[in-house]
Structure 1
Amino acid sequence: MPEMRFNIRWPDGALESCYSPSLVIKDYLTPGESYPLNEFLERSRTALSIASDRVKAKYGMPCSLALGQLARIEARCGRFADSADARVSVDTFEE
């Protein structure tokens, strides 16, 4: 299964390299785009859940790395939940 990393920039300017066990993230996020916090969270949630399900279909177990990445994204989004104009930028993909 082709895995990849997607590099994002949080509303406070911090950079993070995120993991996906599948290229499906490309269907939900676009390099160079900036997403409102809630939209970024929903797109990430959908893509990483699909990626984990693909791993489960192939290997019989969900992908703990994808689910862990999603948990980190959810936690980090929580820090900016009170900021109505918070946006997350997708910088690059690494395959």
Structure 2
Amino acid sequence: MPEMTFSVRWPDGQVRQYYSPSLVMHDFLTAGASYTVEDFTARSTKALAQATERVREKFGFACTSAAAAADDIVDAARTYGPTSTVEVLDLRPPLSSAR
């Protein structure tokens, strides 16, 4: 199962990198795109939930790293207004080279 990381710039300029055990993030986020905090949080937590379920289906257990990334995103999002902007800086590996 290919894993990936994605980097975002939060509204205060802080750049954070997150882990996903699956390329499913490409179905929810686009590198270079901006989302409201509310939308980014919804998209990324849904994608990470799907990623951990893919791990569960394949290996028989959930991915705690994906759950931790989702928790980190939710915690960070609480410090900003829901309409503030989050920029997705990159998704690695890029989809074209990942498949």
Question: How would you bin the TM-score normalised by the shorter chain?
Answer: over 0.9
Give distance in 1, aligned partners of 2:82 and 2:41.
Answer: 14
Give the alignment's Cα RMSD to 1 decimal: 0.9
Residue ranges of structure 1 left out of the alignment (5+ in a row): none
| Structure 1 moving runs of 4+ over 6 Å | none
Conserved? CA contact 2:38–2:83, under 8 Å: no
How far residue 47 of structure 1 moved from its aligned partner, in angstroms, is: 0.3
Count matched residues: 93
Which residue does the alignment assign to 1:69?
69
Say which SS state the counterpart of residue 72 (structure 1) adopts: helix
What pairs up with 1:16-31 in 2 under 5 angstroms?
16-31=16-31
Q: Which amino acid aligns with 1:29?
A: L
Give distance in 2, aligned partners of 1:45 and 1:85.
Answer: 17
Which residue does the alignment assign to 2:88?
90
Say which SS state the counterpart of residue 26 (structure 1) adopts: helix
What pairs up with 1:32-47 in 2 under 5 angstroms?
32-47=32-47
TM-score of the aligned structures, taking structure 1 as reference length: 0.94
How far residue 43 of structure 1 moved from its aligned partner, in angstroms, is: 0.2
How far residue 71 of structure 1 moved from its aligned partner, in angstroms, is: 0.3
The sequence identity of aligned pairs, in percent, is 40
